[in-house]
Every structure is written in structure tokens, then in C-alpha cells.
Amino acid sequence: MIRIMLLLAVAMSFVGGSVLGQEKNRDLVTALSSDMVSIQSNFTGTEIVIFGQASHIERQPNAPGSFELAIIVEGPPQDITTRRKGRFLGVWVNRAAEKFQNVPSFYAVASTTDIGEIAHRNILDEYGIGLNHINLAVSGVSNVPLSDRDDFRRAFIRLRQDMGLYSEQETSIQFLTDTMFRTNIPLPANIPVGDYKVKSFLFNQGNLVSQTEQTLAVAKIGFEQITFELAQHYSLVYGLLAVTLAIFTGWLAGVIFRKD
């Protein structure tokens, strides 16, 4: 009897070790079509392709317990103020305002299924997967009543969507084979410059089993880069050059079109 119990224990240990080994081997590998986006004067927007492979998975779409993917492209954090207009003496003016701190300047998420079906809400909130789960921290000083803060949050997300800076593309990740996938993320013409994070998450039965993170650089080049650097870091020099250029242009136009 004791020998049988020992054999069962050893067998269970091998089974458990095999399952754990399979969990560890579910590696998620991703790559970008380009890790650098260059912005020039004729830049009208572009898109990046994110592709990769999830090893040792058996994905069955729309089946309970299936493996699902979510990919996030997140821009550098910014402080952004959302204002509400109101009538004052018959004129529309800015009234209440809410300042959101360290929020993504750009945010795009793609997934294999509806985001709410990927994992529990707490997990989605923890990793900021989906527009309804982004952590939008507000400043300590605010003149917005607590009852109106949800309205400001919705307005903030809606305005960013209208600008093309926030997007949610559910069911947009395509599996080319059982393990290989790809998706396209559009980048609008008004995309902010900086270092972007590309985060990929692999879920199984609502549990995160693997994740990766890469960096995407968005930068101005050429004359646009020079003017951007001057405006950001040498504002006085930039202002003086702008005024000088305006005066010179006006004088030159007067000389050219002067009537004798």
C-alpha cells in the first residue's frame, strides 16, 4: 500500500512538472515593422505593423478557455486639461476644468476579441487594457464636483478619439497560423513625438500567461527637428528668430512689390 502511494506521488509530480513546463514554454515573441517613425513637413500619418508568435498554444476562437491577445501602443505621458464651456453674461466661456496627470499622449489597443471578455475587470484595470480601463489620475486641485468627474473622463476620452489619438480596435488581431499573428496600428498626422511603448499580453482563461514590451521612437527630422528643439529648449532664441524672420519677410515683400 505504501509503495502504491509513493508511485502515485511520483507520477503526480511528473504530471505537475510537465504542466508547469508547458506554462513556462508559452513564450510570446513580437516585432515591429519599424522601430522608428520619422515626421517631416509632408507627414500625413502612417501605420505600424505588429506581428509575432505565441508558442505552445491551442487557440480556438469563441471557445471558453481560449488564448486571447491584447496589444497596446502607448505614447509618452502628458498632463492634459479638459474644460467645460458655460454661458456667462450671454457669452460661452471656459468654466469648470479637470486636469489629468501623466496620461498617455497617444493610446491604441488591439485585441483578438471583445476586451471585456479577455480577463476580469481588475486585471484589465491593473494593466490599463482598453479605453475604459486607462488610469486617468486627476490633479489634487480641482473645481469639478465628484458627481461630474465621470462626465469629464468620458469627455476626455471622446475628444482624444476625435483627434485620432485614442483608439480601440477589438477583434483586429489576425492569426495567420495557429500561433502567428499580426495587427496594424494607425498613427495620425498629429501624433506627439517621443518614445512609445508597445505592450503585448497573452491571456488564457482570463489569466495573464505572458507579456512583452518594446520601444517605438517617433521623432521629427531635418528642419522640423531644429525648429522643434528651439521651441522646446530655447524659447527665447526661437521667439527672436521668428520675429526677425517676420520683419525680414515683410521688408523683402515691400521691396519686391514696391511701385516706383
The residue-averaged pLDDT of 161-168 equals: 94
User: Residue 110, class by beta-carbon neighbours within 10 Å (0-12 exposed, 13-18 middle, 19+ buried)?
Assistant: buried
Residue 2 has pLDDT above 60, yes or no: no
Given this model, what pLDDT does residue 23 score?
Answer: 42
Given this model, what pLDDT does residue 7 score?
Answer: 35
For domain 25-220, the question of CATH label 2.60.40.10 is answered with no
Confidence of residue 9 (pLDDT cuts 50, 70, 90): very low
Average pLDDT, the chain: 79
The residue-averaged pLDDT of 176-198 equals: 92
User: Residue 172, class by beta-carbon neighbours within 10 Å (0-12 exposed, 13-18 middle, 19+ buried)?
Assistant: middle
Domain-by-domain residue ranges, the chain? 25-220, 222-260
Reported as a single tens digit per residue, the pLDDT across 109-146 is 999 999 999 999 999 999 999 999 998 887 766 666 66
The residue-averaged pLDDT of 174-187 equals: 90
Lowest-confidence region among 44-53, 72-81, 88-97, 172-181: 88-97
Given this model, what pLDDT does residue 32 score?
Answer: 93
Angle at Cα 19 formed by Cα 15 and Cα 21, nearest 5°? 115
pTM above 0.85, yes or no: no
Given this model, what pLDDT does residue 168 score?
Answer: 95
| 193 and 39 Cβ atoms separated by less than 8 Å | yes
| 252 and 241 Cβ atoms separated by less than 8 Å | no
Given this model, what pLDDT does residue 75 score?
Answer: 95
What percentage of the chain has pLDDT greater than the value 70?
72
Residue 173 has pLDDT above 80, yes or no: yes
Reported as a single tens digit per residue, the pLDDT across 10-24 is 333 333 433 333 444
